Amino acid sequence: MHFKKRLLAAYRAFGDPGLVVDPTQMKRLVDARVGLHLSKQKMHETLRGAVEEGLAKMAPQLDNDLPGRLAALGEEWKSATPRWDRVREVAHEALERAGVRGGRMLEIGGRLNPRHRDFPDFDYHALDLEKAPGAEGVKVMAGDITNCPQIPDGSFDFIFSFDVFEHIDRPWLAGQEICRLLRPGGVTVHSTLFAWRYHPCPIDYFRFTAPGLKSLFDLDCLYSDFDYSERRRDVRGQGRYALKPDLLGGWRENVRVHYAGVKR
């Protein structure tokens, strides 16, 4: 309206009637300009309303409190459930949800610390890069999970790994092979690292976000999340938890990621 008033005042101030635009035409021009302005304003208000409505719907999903909760973690990691127990819980819940109660299980990287005892209802097989006897009498197939054509499609009901994906050189190929090796209805569970010290075994290649790990599998997701229970755990020189500083001088932030998926 300010604009309309200014134009009309200018029009009145104009002396030469020959130069003056016809008042009706002028009014039309002014109305058109004001109309355009008003419709733009209305459009902005509508858009703002839609954005605010969208944000309000998202609000319950936005964890605004997360930084505060993380900062408060302090020494809590000392009383947290041990990480293997947390991973096992994710695996057992995923198997339960998918109704997989037994069958053939493949553990990738099972040469060290095989987890067969935690899945007693499964016929356990381990696959690892190196042909080694495996701990505690567990036989280990020599193979590379990024390319194992010697294993037929749909061979396993359950495929699992713990602290392995960060050591795989082309994890996207591993994701494809795992999907191929699963039978329809089969479940896969993996736990790897978002932040941890550098630890070559034999090589330390990658770190993953929860969505990054999930993106490797063309499966229905049962679980995908960060696990920051041990975020404040300082592994440099802490009693029985002490580790030598790594190549980069140690590490104190520790965050895992877990993924579980089912092949439909």
- Footprint of ligand SAM on residues 130-149 (CB under 6 A)? 130, 144-146
Cα 33 off chain centre by: 50
| Residue 75: DSSP 8-state | G
Of 125, 128, 181, 224, which one interacts with ligand SAM (CB under 6 A)?
128
Stretch that binds ligand SAM, among 1-9, 11-19, 95-103, 156-164 (CB under 6 A): 156-164
Of 88, 116, 167, 197, which one interacts with ligand SAM (CB under 6 A)?
167
Stretch that binds ligand SAM, among 37-45, 103-111, 183-191, 214-222 (CB under 6 A): 103-111
Least Å distance between CB 163 and ligand SAM?
A: 4
Residues that bind ligand SAM (rule: CB under 6 A) add up to a total of 18
- For residue 139, which amino acid is it? K
Of 98, 127, 189, 257, which one interacts with ligand SAM (CB under 6 A)?
127
Tokens for 230?
Answer: 């041990």
- Give the bridge partners for 188, in sequence order: 159, 261
| Distance (Å) of CA 70 to CA 62, 64, 73, 148, 248 | 15, 11, 5, 41, 24
Residue 168 near ligand SAM by CB under 6 A = yes
SS3 30: helix
Helix axes 23-58, 2-13, angle to 10 degrees: 170
Least Å distance between CB 252 and ligand SAM?
A: 20
**Minimum CB distance to ligand SAM smaller for 168 or for 210:** 168
Assess contact for 142 and 131: CB atoms under 8 A.
yes
**Minimum CB distance to ligand SAM smaller for 128 or for 157:** 128
Assess contact for 159 and 181: CB atoms under 8 A.
yes
User: Which residues of this chain interact with ligand SAM, rule CB under 6 A?
Assistant: 108-109, 111-113, 127-130, 144-146, 162-164, 167-168, 201
